[in-house]
Amino acid sequence: MNTTKTTLPYKDSSLPVDERVEDLLARMTIEEKVAQMLCVWQQKPATLVDERGRFDEAKARARFGHGHGLGQVGRPSDAGGGLTARAMAETTNAIQRFFVDESRLGIPVIFHEECLHGHAAREGSSFPQPIGLASTFDPALVERVYTAVAAEARARGAHQALAPDLDVARDPRWGRTEETFGEDPYLIGCMGVAAVRGFQGDGRFADKKRVIATVKHFAAHGEPEAGTNCAPVNVSMRVLREVCLPAFKRAIVEGGALSVMPSYNEIDGVPSHANRWLLGEVLRGEWRFRGFVVSDYFAIRELNERPELYGHHLAHDTREAAALAVRAGVDIELPDPDCYPSLVELVREGVVPESLIDERVRPMLRAKFQLGLFDDPYVDPAEAERIVRDPAHRELALEAARKTITLLKNDGVLPIDTSAIRTIAVIGPNADRVMLGGYSGVPLHAGTALQAIRDRVPPGVEVLYHEGCKITIGGSWNQDEVTPGDPEENRRSIREAARVAARADLVVLAIGDNEQTSREAWALNHMGDRASLDLFGQQDELVDAIAETGKPIVALLFSGRPASIRNLAAKAGAILELWYLGQESGRAIAEALFGDINPGGKLPITIPRSVGHVPAFYNHKPSARRGYLFESSAPLFAFGYGLSYTTFAFSNLRLERETIRVGESTRVFVDVSNTGSRRGDEVVQLYVRDLVSSVTRPVKELKGFRRVTLDPGQTITVELEVTPDALAFYDIEMMYRVEPGDFRLMVGSSSRDEDLQALTLHVVA
């Protein structure tokens, strides 16, 4: 008798992935196909896990005993109120084993996690928020950060990160600004490619240390009407093509991103989850995207109506919403089964062809094969526990925090000279608070500015402390209710803080936003967008009271978005923009204050003078920003701006070739010298302006940059390439091309005219 066991083609790891996909797809019923288009998140306690977050086989059999399988499980890390690394690995293994063993075809599930600036989980390392990572102007560092994030998430059983966020943040009232890499399409594109490569590596996933990157929110989410989350985005096709889409294209074409998440907003009346042009013609047609599209949470339901929030009202009910989304190109519904379960009936009724379901399922199966889940879907809990404790990740978090810190003002107050300063007053609502920002986990280590300053000062230097005032009372990013500090109690506290400040030689003032005053507004009872950019509550009164003491002020500005700090800028002797620095925040701040490190970050977004100056992005058209009655239209601090404890000089700006043909490249060179007494970093920035064109062009656009480190007295030559892409745009006929003519190339330390040197490049046909 022949006892040879026949291996089905889709289970044969020696076959090409596409061949395995087609074999498996041909064996699947419509119920099994649609099951791959479903996810479970909030329903985990009812269907997969017990109250401790451990796998519950009885619940799983009751819900999934039909054997059809499941596409994804969302955020296993949050089960049971939050799992340790080891516990999450054990839970994901158990859930995975159930679906592999108990579903008819043994199709494994994908576990997805939030990984915006670290794995948002208990024991996950926390790095600076993306707005801070963009301040580093260091794509290589960003790639290393997301490589570490991927390793931690994958070791615990996760396979997909719902990051990076490639929105172009053009309205700082928007609470999600912190999640972005800022306002510039070129910078966002560079950081986006770096993040994708960090998450995915070479895309083969052979070492089980990488995860699928999900670029979001596709598209134009970052300039919502009135600055309110999910609002319509009113942009022209040219702005959409030149500002909103380029970073996504680069992340997909250059970076190889395998997943895309559409945005909540509408563009020209069409919500992205129903936009066949966006997800079909552009994404899959022009860019040849072969990965899979995941819905944003509850966004398919919103094509109909999402109770107590809003609805787009493109569909009468969830069935119609499902049909709209699946036709547009959304492959899987997140986070829970809601609209897409009706696809089985819609296929049987002939409303949706099964061939379309095959198109939607095919890339998700391909991803599972690419991840190696059919061959080895399990992880080692001991390795998960080890990797979240890897000292290298803590050091990387510190390096990223150091490089994020941006010096906005310094009248000689910094670095602090402890031989001359005997008493330091650390004052402010953010001084003794762990500041991580949104989508953060609970890292094993997290420091505050106050504790780090106390640890750093030498013997004989006294550190005083007072909270000054409260921004909000308690609270976290996740908590719906926001309770502002009581104004009268704050004013009493401010008077006490001023008395403390009067005893000191210098005041370190820690103020700004916190995770409640600027955040994602995901529900009517969970708001986060603001109509003001001023410091919240009585913080300006605190600034005034401390300034009246006459003591020098060093301001630590924590924030997730630009704050209009005119009063602070006038009264502080020094200002450090920190954004949210992650778990090593305290140590990095102390090092910057006392000169152990030299700040070298640059602003990835403009800081406007007031909310009335919005929009304030630097790459505006020539007719914009002409001025206001009684008010300057210039920003308070410009894109690309950032000081140092040393000084730099730019000289000998020159071109490799001053005249090139359309389609050719050239190089620009500049000599950069450290003219000060400290080792420091400078970011050399290249901006381009087309001087005469068939349509109006921005006054300047970033098209290259390089962060360099120089010793005192050292001079280096920095080379930046000028490619056709740096000169091209969508012309009067909406053709993407380089028009012959003259281009002004500007090189310097920020986007401000006074910080730039210029020359002219001639482009001929």
Distance between CA atoms of 13 and 292, rounded to whole angstroms? 22
Distance between CA atoms of 276 and 231, rounded to whole angstroms? 20
Phi, psi of 86, deg, nearest 5: -65, -45
Catalytic-labelled residue, pool 296, 338, 529, 681:
296
Region of 594 please: left (phi>0), alpha (psi -120 to 50) or beta. alpha
Query: For the chain, how big is the Rg over CA atoms in Å?
Result: 27
Q: In the chain, which stretches have pLDDT less than 70?
A: 1-5
Burial class of residue 605 in the structure, from the number of CB atoms within 10 Å of its CB (0-12 exposed, 13-18 middle, 19+ buried): buried
Domain 18-387 classified CATH 3.40.30.10?
Answer: no
Burial class of residue 677 in the structure, from the number of CB atoms within 10 Å of its CB (0-12 exposed, 13-18 middle, 19+ buried): exposed
Distance between CA atoms of 468 and 720, rounded to whole angstroms? 47
Distance between CA atoms of 312 and 306, rounded to whole angstroms? 9
At 331, is the secondary structure helix, strand, or coil?
A: coil
- SS3 sequence, 90-120? HHHHHHHHHHHHHCCCCCCCEEEECCCCCCC
Both tokens of 588, joined, read 């990095």
Nearest to 24 by CA among 103, 112, 111: 103
Residue type, 669: F
Both tokens of 509, joined, read 């003032």
- Give residue 5's pLDDT: 53
Q: What is the DSSP letter of 233?
A: B
- SS3 sequence, 8-72? CHHHCCCCCHHHHHHHHHHHCCHHHHHHCCCEECCCHHHHCECCCCCECHHHHHHHHCCCCCCCE
**DSSP letter string over 387-454?**
HTT-HHHHHHHHHHHHHH-EEEEESS--S--TTT--EEEEESTTTTS----SS--B-S----HHHHHH
**3-state class percentages of the chain: helix first, strand second, coil last, to nearest 5:** 35, 20, 45
Burial class of residue 454 in the structure, from the number of CB atoms within 10 Å of its CB (0-12 exposed, 13-18 middle, 19+ buried): middle
Q: What is the DSSP letter of 477?
A: S
- Going from N- to C-terminal start, the domains of the chain cover 18-387, 405-613, 648-764
User: What would the CATH number be for the domain defined by 405-613?
Assistant: 3.40.50.1700
Q: What is the pTM of this model?
A: 0.97
Both tokens of 371, joined, read 């991840």
- SS3 sequence, 547-577? HHCCCCEEEEEECCCCCCCHHHHHHCCEEEE
Which residue matches tokens 């109506």?
Answer: 305
**Considering Cα of 634, then 640, then 645, then 651, what sign does the dihedral take?**
negative
Q: Taking a C-beta distance cutoff of 8 angstroms, is the pair 31, 357 a contact?
A: no
Per-residue pLDDT tens digits for 703-736: 999 999 999 999 999 999 999 999 999 999 999 9
Number of H helices, E strands in the chain: 22, 25
Q: What is the DSSP letter of 179?
A: G
**Prior bond of 615 cis (ω within 30°):** yes
- Give residue 307's pLDDT: 87
296 is catalytic: yes
Nearest to 218 by CA among 157, 292, 167, 291: 167
Both tokens of 660, joined, read 């090139």
Domain 648-764 classified CATH 2.60.40.10?
Answer: yes
Residue type, 28: M
Which residue matches tokens 């050719």?
Answer: 664
Q: Pairing between strand 292-293 and 741-748?
A: unpaired
What is the CB-side half-sphere exposure of residue 530 using CA atoms within 13 A?
28
**DSSP letter string over 618-683?**
SS--TTS---BTTB--S-SB-TT--B-SS-EEEEEEEES-SEEETT--EEEEEEEEE-SSS-EEEE
Per-residue pLDDT tens digits for 166-184: 999 999 999 999 999 999 9
Phi, psi of 345, deg, nearest 5: -65, -40
Distance between CA atoms of 554 and 509, rounded to whole angstroms? 6
Nearest to 330 by CA among 366, 369, 368, 291: 291
Q: Which residues of 226-248 are buried (b: 16+ CB within 10 A; e: fewer)?
A: ebbbbbbbebeeebbbbbbbbbb
Q: Taking a C-beta distance cutoff of 8 angstroms, is the pair 723, 737 a contact?
A: no
